[in-house]
Amino acid sequence: MRSKLALGGLPSPLTALTSMHTVLDVVEHLAVESKANEGGDALQRFYYELYKPDATEVKKAIAEADTDTDFDAFAALGMH
């Protein structure tokens, strides 16, 4: 990673990368580049694993959703 940064113009990552957000952006960029080079669905699987929602939050959102009201609102659009 250090050599990749040096080749990109950052000879001293400790002083050039001033925040944790910047460091995480660089690491994610390197990981995405690596997965894209793997080919197939490696990049798609990487993004899914990285950003998938927490199962507990999904179950909570489903339990709290008022699907009847949502359906009634959709039906009220007059799509006959």
Confidence of residue 73 (pLDDT cuts 50, 70, 90): confident
What is the count of structural domains for the chain? 1
Q: Is the pTM of this model over 0.75?
A: no
**Residue-range definition of the domain harbouring residue 20:** 2-75
Residue type, 34: S
Top pLDDT among 74 and 39 is at: 39
Confidence of residue 80 (pLDDT cuts 50, 70, 90): low
Domain contains 80: no
d(CA 26, CA 3): 13
Q: Could you tell me how many helices (H) and strands (E) the chain has, helices first?
A: 6, 0
Domain contains 71: yes
d(CA 31, CA 3): 15
pLDDT digits (tens, 9 = 90+) for 7-62: 777 778 777 777 888 888 888 888 999 999 999 999 999 998 888 888 888 888 77
Could you tell me the CA-to-CA distances from 36 to 1, 28, 44, 47, 52 in Å, in that order?
17, 12, 9, 11, 19
